[in-house]
Structure 1
Amino acid sequence: MVDCISKVMLHTAISCWQPFLGLALVLVFVGSALGCPARCECSAQSKSVICHRKRLLAIPEGIPIETRVLDLSKNKLRSVNPDNFSSFPQLEELDLSDNIIGSVEPGAFNALVNMHSLSLKSNRIKLIPLGVFTGLANLTLLDISDNKIVILLDYMFQDLHNLKVLEVGDNDLVYISHRAFSGLLGLESLTLERCNLTMVPTEALSHLHNLVTLRLRQLNIAVLHPNSFRKLFRLRHLEIDSWPALDSFPADTLQGLNLTTLSVTNTNLSAFPYQAFRHLPYLTHLNLSFSRIAHVQGGMLAELGRLRELHLVGAGLLAIEPYAFQGMRSLRVLNVSHNQLDTLERSAFQAPEVLEKLLIDGNPLVCDCRLMWLLQRRHSIQFGEAQPECGTPEGVRGRPFREFKESLLSYYVTCTKPRIRQNKTQLLFVDEGQPARLYCSADGTPRPTVTWLTPRQRHVTYKSSGRVAVHASGTLEIKVSEVHDSGVYVCVASNAAGNDSLSASLAVKSLGISDRSLYANRTSQYYTEPNSTATNGTNLFNMTFGLDLKTILVSTAMGCFTFLGVVLFCFLLLFVWSRGKGKHKSNIDIEYVPRKSAGAAAEGAEQAGPRRVNMKMI
């Protein structure tokens, strides 16, 4: 009975006090609002205090203790001390960006054990001493970019075991200590940009075993060394952007990486780094835009079988050769816009039917039979926002692909077979050591490519280099002729419509030993530029002659040895002949009649008759 009465009384009391409890909650909320710092905006629901762009000179008073989000960006704060945030243990996000902070003292964030985001971006910090980040064990994002930091010291991030994202770019960095990133066991994303680094901090990066994304932008690095990114076993996304001094990509630079995305843009690369990419079988996205890559050769990218997107925008491309994308069965997107391509043949692709998007606008395209496959697919393939247009021939210049009528394709999109001009067999005689030129030029649509076949069955093209080369005009040049260069050469001019050929014979005359010596030491003239003068003010003009002392001595010695050898051979021959005849007469009688001559003496001699002479063999 007593228990029942107690319960009834308790229920009655609660019912009576409910209005008062509601009023108390309202008062608490009002109290929180009244505790918001002047000129700041507070939210009781999100427990945030926003003091953005309030021209504050110091940390404002009246910030609620339970604040979780504090925004003090774009003010006039000059420093951060340990006492500034010790009263807000529940703080999770702190934004101090765009102030004039010049120093952050060690222990400034010791009490903020729950904080997971800290931004010190766009301040005037020159050095972050050890101990500044002590206590931030749960921090996941740290932004110290756009400051005046010159060096990253060893172990300065060692307490940030759970940090995921680190932004360090846009500083005056000249050096990163080898152990600066030690302790960042969970770091997944790192950005280094707009600083004074002259080489990749390989040793420092090697401590980031869980790094997934690395961005290196606007750096003055000219050389990439082999294994520049070693020990980054989990790196998947690498971005190298705006390195104007970078002109080569060594083969072993990316050794040991399993990248899926690689971007090397705004560089001075002049050749496609085929060898460097052979170690990347899992690559799906490749961007080499805004470089100086003129050609994509055939059959060099076969190991990138998983590549889905390739971007070569504004790279100065002149040609994509047949079989350039051989082996790339997964290629879906190709962006080669704003280059100098005149065509893109179907034979460049391993599987052209799977190509979904082709950006080829901004190229001087020649709409001939080589582009027929693309024009036939113009309604099923995506060209992006800008439609590709024909540059030539005249009848379709400026016409977008989608405006072509099916019935007109066979009329405009044609090719003509090559025809070699002056198609007559050439016969050329040259001396050994002299240059030789065989001419071959051809007409056709598209412009034919000229290839020469040597007597030794070697193919020489425009890209060949060395002693034997082909000029852009089709002329074959042998810079220094040799005897074995003699033979029949075949010029082959070919394009998509067919080919034409021409034979040319070359005969190289061999020189003697002395002639070769003279040729090896042939007369040469050296002179300076017209502006160059000697001490007396006259132009320098020096001549060296091939008949030097060494040449004369060698030639004389060889002549003497030859003469002595002939004389010795004759004596031996006579000796053998004489021995082979056995006994012989030692005396020989010779009878002769003197020649007639004018005068009495001659008549007297004729009357005397023939004369006899006796000779004795010694």
Structure 2
Amino acid sequence: MSLQDLTNTFWAPLLCLLLLGIPVSHTAKCPQQCICDQVQLRVACVNKNLTRVPSDVDEITVKLDLQGNDIQELPSGAFKHTPYLTHLSMQRCNIRRVKEGAFRGLGRLVFLNLANNNIEILYQESFDGLSSLKQLFIDHNRVEEIQPGAFSQLGFLNLLSITHNQLVYMPNLAFQGLQNIKWLRLSHNSLNYLDTEAFAGLFTLNRVSLDHNELQFFPTETMTRLPEVTRLDLSHNPMTYLGEDAVSMAKLTHLFLDHMSLQDLVNTAVSKSPCLVHLDISHNQLRVLQPFSEGSPKLARLNLAGNPIKCNCYLRPFREWAIRRKVKLLGTCGGPAHLSGESLKAVYPMDLRCQSQEAMLKAEFEEATRITPPPTQEPENKMKCPAHCVCENHHQQQ
């Protein structure tokens, strides 16, 4: 080992201690069940069947990994012995409850992962003390209630992820206090209603994930109160209709409404989203589309894949609009037969014609005949059999 390597090995942990304000004269200690890295100031107690947070973790620890234990409850002051933590991982710990003040004293923590536990309620003071936290993961739990003020102390949080939980209803001011939030992930819940002020105060939020929920209508009033959102994902929700001015979001650039049940889309649905560039309405039930209004001048990409779109004369104005506005269309024709499977962007307006009523009836008859099998004919020489008898018909070749 060179003199330079020896110097780095000696000074690296000392420099880390000085930056964190930790006394240099500190004597290191390590719990028996854990693996400790005194250079990186990391402690890992993974899959050790621990039933509580070990109290003998070294005070100077910066990163603590407690994954795969059986810590069913986090009591108040559970981490008071490790005030210098910046990263804490507690996935798969069978946690059922985070009591008020459980994280008090962790004013330096920037990353907290509580995924894959059994948490049902986020209490008002559950996250008190986490004044520097930037990322919080509560995915794959059983959260069904967020009490008012649950996040009020998380003023520096950038990312909040509560996916794969059991949320049904989002009340007003549910996320009050998140003054620096950038991305809110609520995917894979059972949300069917959002209060008008559910996202009130989130003036820095620019990305919202609400896919895989139970929303039947676009939450217009709720979303209008998000002035900085640029990306919104509402895919895999059972919406059937998108009405006039449904999407009114000043800075929205990307909107995902795919894999829903849309049967009708009003041509002014996104007219009040002037910055919209990408709209994904693929895998719905849309058959006919009208030219979009002039309210979205920047729309450049429209995904229509997986829709049973009829490429006939009724689609001609829409196709002319797409060509004129240079909108890139993704998807194929769902009919009629001679255009079925043809790329939408390859079909010219002159190709979009409607058949006469006589031709349409003939095509429908031919289609029905092709689907319905002809009735089986019985042999002409089939012998009649008297009632209450059993007959056998032997045909012998001569």
Q: Deviation of residue 277 (structure 1)? A: 1.2
Distance of aligned partners of 1:133 and 1:413 in 2 relative to their CA distance in 1, 3 Å threshold? same
- Residue in 1 that maps onto 2:195: 250
The answer to whether the 8 Å contact 1:210/1:235 transfers is: yes
State how far apart, in whole Å, the 2-side matches of 1:301 and 1:87 are: 52
Structure 1: stretches of 5+ with no match in the other structure: 1-24, 33-43, 48-64, 69-79, 420-442, 444-618
- Residue in 2 that maps onto 1:399: 342
Q: Deviation of residue 375 (structure 1)? A: 5.7
| 1:428-475: CA deviation from partner (whole Å, max 9, x where unpaired) | xxxxxxxxxxxxxxx9xxxxxxxxxxxxxxxxxxxxxxxxxxxxxxxx
- Residue in 2 that maps onto 1:358: 302
User: TM-score under structure 1 normalisation?
Assistant: 0.50
The answer to whether the 8 Å contact 1:372/1:413 transfers is: no
Q: Which has the larger radius of gyration?
A: 1
The answer to whether the 8 Å contact 1:320/1:348 transfers is: no
| 1:36-61: CA deviation from partner (whole Å, max 9, x where unpaired) | xxxxxxxx9889xxxxxxxxxxxxxx
Residue among 272, 275, 284 paired with 1:330: 275
Following TM superposition, where does structure 1 have runs of at least 4 consecutive aligned residues deviating by more than 6 angstroms?
44-47, 84-87
Matches within 5 A, 1:338-417: 338-348=283-293, 350-352=295-297, 354-367=298-311, 368-373=315-320, 376=323, 381-383=327-329, 387-404=330-347, 406=348, 409-410=349-350, 412-414=351-353
State how far apart, in whole Å, the 1-side matches of 2:96 and 2:201 are: 31
State how far apart, in whole Å, the 1-side matches of 2:245 and 2:35 are: 64
The answer to whether the 8 Å contact 2:53/2:71 transfers is: no
The answer to whether the 8 Å contact 2:149/2:177 transfers is: no
- Residue in 1 that maps onto 2:261: 316
Residue among 42, 50, 62 paired with 1:93: 42
The answer to whether the 8 Å contact 1:266/1:290 transfers is: yes
Matches within 5 A, 1:198-597: 198-244=144-190, 246-258=191-203, 259-302=205-248, 304-348=249-293, 350-352=295-297, 354-367=298-311, 368-373=315-320, 376=323, 381-383=327-329, 387-404=330-347, 406=348, 409-410=349-350, 412-414=351-353
State how far apart, in whole Å, the 1-side matches of 2:32 and 2:48 are: 19
Higher strand proportion? 1
Distance of aligned partners of 1:111 and 1:248 in 2 relative to their CA distance in 1, 3 Å threshold? closer
The answer as to 2:178 corresponding to 1:197 is no
The answer as to 2:46 corresponding to 1:102 is no
Distance of aligned partners of 1:176 and 1:388 in 2 relative to their CA distance in 1, 3 Å threshold? closer
Q: Deviation of residue 332 (structure 1)? A: 0.7
State how far apart, in whole Å, the 2-side matches of 1:342 and 1:250 are: 32
Distance of aligned partners of 1:105 and 1:234 in 2 relative to their CA distance in 1, 3 Å threshold? closer
The answer to whether the 8 Å contact 1:251/1:275 transfers is: yes
| 1:458-500: CA deviation from partner (whole Å, max 9, x where unpaired) | xxxxxxxxxxxxxxxxxxxxxxxxxxxxxxxxxxxxxxxxxxx
Residue among 169, 174, 183 paired with 2:129: 183
Higher helix proportion? 1
Structure 2: stretches of 5+ with no match in the other structure: 17-28, 361-398
Aligned to 1:265, the other structure's residue is in SS state coil
Q: Deviation of residue 316 (structure 1)? A: 0.9
Aligned to 1:142, the other structure's residue is in SS state strand
Q: Deviation of residue 198 (structure 1)? A: 1.9
| 1:204-236: CA deviation from partner (whole Å, max 9, x where unpaired) | 222222222211111112222222122223223
Q: Deviation of residue 106 (structure 1)? A: 4.5
